[in-house]
Amino acid sequence: MGGYTTFGYLADYEGSLFDTVEVYDPTTNTWEVVANLHVERIGFELAVHENQIYVFGGESEAGNVNTAEMYNPETNTWIELNDMSGIRGEPHVEVYNDEIYVIGRSTKGNQTVFNIEKYMIKEDNWTEVVSFDQERYSFQTELLNGKAYVIGGLKEDQVGEKFNMY
């Protein structure tokens, strides 16, 4: 889903971005092309909720995006969702009940923050949950017992030693 045709850093596009989506069926060992994303992108994150696939953020040829889409495999269609409040490249997502938490760096105008934003699926609405005291990259996230864990990562080429729980 989505992707990039050659290896290289995002700032140096030598290939083409993809908006294509393919589905693998292990019972027949075949691939099927399904409906394309609305936005070509790389560095996005996925979530699955009630048999639908959600795509958040990433980078297009114009830069990081704040867009979100939802794929319904029953109808083979993508629906554009309300935009996140800020642009997000390489976010992390976690699903909890009927909410999807998008975690990471967010840029709104000239301000960049590291925060958690919550997407309420039934309302197609966003709200900011919390901002962090430390910006970081290449971290991992997990939900456990109703709490979001943000673990490790990098800041200014230093290995992150902080562990946050919200």
- Residue 133's pLDDT band (cuts 50, 70, 90): confident
Q: What is the pTM of this model?
A: 0.83
pLDDT in tens, 11-59: 445 567 889 999 999 999 999 999 999 999 999 999 999 999 999 999 9
Distance of CA 143 to the CA centre of its chain: 16
- Residue 13, CA distances (Å) to 10, 42, 60, 140 in order: 6, 11, 10, 26
pLDDT in tens, 79-131: 999 999 999 989 999 999 999 999 988 888 888 888 999 999 999 999 999 98
In the block, residue with structure tokens 């083409």: 16
- Residue 62's pLDDT band (cuts 50, 70, 90): confident
Range 78-85 contact pairs with CB under 8 angstroms and sequence separation of 24 or more: 78/35, 78/36, 78/37, 78/38, 80/38, 81/54, 81/119, 81/124, 82/124, 82/125, 82/126, 83/126, 84/56, 84/57, 84/117, 84/119, 84/126, 85/117, 85/126, 85/128
pLDDT at 7: 34
**Structural domains in the chain, sorted by start:** 3-165 (2.120.10.80)
* pLDDT value at 1 more than 70: no
CA angle 155, 87, 148 (to 5 degrees): 60
* pLDDT value at 6 more than 60: no
d(CA 90, CA 81): 18
d(CA 52, CA 89): 22
pLDDT at 108: 84
